């Protein structure tokens, strides 16, 4: 079960960031997923620092990959084994589409540099292949990895929100595409958008940790009939 990060405060003082749920790693699979996440977080912090708009664009191009990979492999597995998917495919495709809408929103607010476009190209090629192979080897580790990625995404959007609320980042009007997608008010702002995106990321975190937990208990979950819905 997710627990509060021991290294982060439970309640945020004004201008600070609240602690978010954290899944304590259990076993080698979880530790590997957490270690990969920390290494990639370090790289992202080096590359973007507090340029949260650019950070969001580049990382959302990566975030939209795992759901589609998981859905594809689960789809093919269910075809081969001739079994029901227990709702996994739709859940994972919804996640991929949701992440792509995050990208479509933030691209209205910032333009990636030529170097960032190169990073997107290289990251997509390497991450798609790497995640695909990981999903074939261990679905549990793959979903745990996304669970940890999403923990970091929640933290990053909380830091972005803190920058907006402090006035260091202009709280501009929400793009029309975001107002439509999240059904926001006409006078919604960037802060409202970031809160909505952060809520989506928290949902992805819980779904993926939930799927990893189910796979830890039953590695065949999702590839044979009569199993309960994922994310429980
Ligand atoms: Fe996202
Ligand atoms: Fe996400």
Residue with tokens 């990969």: 36
* Cα 48 to ligand 2 centre (Å): 18
* Cα 218 to ligand 2 centre (Å): 24
**Whole-number pLDDT of residue 7:** 34
Please name which ligand lies nearest the alpha carbon of 208. 2
**Whole-number pLDDT of residue 8:** 36
First to last CA, the chain: 11
**Whole-number pLDDT of residue 50:** 85
**Whole-number pLDDT of residue 227:** 52
How is residue 177 written in tokens? 């595409």
Asked if 96 and 89 count as a contact pair (C-beta separation under 8 A), the reply is: no
- How many CA within 13 A on the CB side of residue 89? 12
Q: What is the CA radius of gyration of the chain?
A: 18
How is residue 107 written in tokens? 């691209």
Residues with CB under 5 A from ligand 2 (ion): 63, 150, 201, 204
Please name which ligand lies nearest the alpha carbon of 157. 1
Return the bridge partners of 3, or none: 22
* Cα 31 to ligand 2 centre (Å): 20
Asked if 202 and 150 count as a contact pair (C-beta separation under 8 A), the reply is: yes
**Whole-number pLDDT of residue 2:** 43
* Cα 201 to ligand 1 centre (Å): 6
* Cα 86 to ligand 2 centre (Å): 21
* Cα 82 to ligand 1 centre (Å): 32
In tens digits, the chain (232 residues) has pLDDT values of 444 443 333 345 545 666 788 999 999 999 999 999 999 999 999 999 889 999 999 999 999 999 999 999 999 999 999 999 999 999 999 999 999 999 999 999 999 999 999 999 999 999 999 999 999 999 999 999 999 999 999 999 999 999 999 999 999 999 999 999 999 999 999 999 999 999 999 999 999 999 999 999 887 776 665 454 444 4
**Whole-number pLDDT of residue 4:** 41
Residues with CB under 5 A from ligand 1 (ion): 60, 63, 99, 102
**Whole-number pLDDT of residue 20:** 80
Please name which ligand lies nearest the alpha carbon of 103. 1
Ordered structural domains, the chain, with CATH = 28-38+49-217 (1.20.1260.140)
* Cα 63 to ligand 1 centre (Å): 6
Q: What is the DSSP string of the chain?
A: -EEE-TTS-SSPPTTS----EEEPP-HHHHHHHHHHHHHHHHHHHHHHTT-HHHHHHHHHHHHTHHHHHHHHHHHHHHHHHT---TTHHHHHHHHHHHHHHHHHHHTTT----HHHHHHHHHHHHHHHHHHHHHHHH-HHHHHHHHHHHHHHHHHHHHHHHHHHHTTSS--PBPPHHHHHHTT--TT-BHHHHHHHHHHHHHHHHHHHHHHHHHHHH-TTTTSSTTPPPTT-
**Whole-number pLDDT of residue 223:** 67
* Cα 197 to ligand 2 centre (Å): 8
């Amino acid at each position: 079960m997710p627990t509060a990060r021991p290294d982060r405060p439970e309640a945020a003082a004004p201008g600070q960031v609240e602690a978010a749920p954290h899944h304590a790693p259990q076993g080698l699979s979880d530790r590997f997923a957490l270690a990969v996440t920390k290494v990639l977080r370090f790289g992202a912090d080096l590359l973007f620092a507090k340029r949260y708009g650019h950070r969001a664009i580049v990382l959302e191009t990566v975030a939209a990959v795992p759901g589609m990979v998981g859905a594809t492999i689960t789809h093919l597995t269910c075809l081969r084994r001739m079994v029901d998917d227990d709702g996994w495919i739709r859940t994972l495709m919804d996640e991929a589409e949701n992440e792509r809408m995050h990208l479509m929103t933030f691209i209205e607010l910032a333009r990636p540099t030529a170097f960032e476009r190169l990073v997107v190209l290289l990251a997509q090629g390497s991450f798609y292949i790497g995640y695909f192979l990981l999903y074939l080897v261990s679905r549990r580790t793959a979903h745990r990895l996304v669970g940890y990625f999403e923990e970091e995404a929640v933290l990053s959007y909380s830091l972005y929100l803190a920058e907006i609320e402090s006035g260091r980042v202009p709280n501009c009007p929400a793009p029309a595409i975001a107002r439509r997608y999240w059904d926001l008010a006409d006078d919604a702002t960037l802060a409202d958008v970031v809160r909505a995106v952060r809520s989506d990321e928290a949902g992805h975190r819980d779904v993926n940790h939930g799927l990893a937990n189910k796979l830890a208990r039953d590695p065949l979950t999702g590839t044979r009939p009569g199993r309960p819905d994922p994310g429980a």
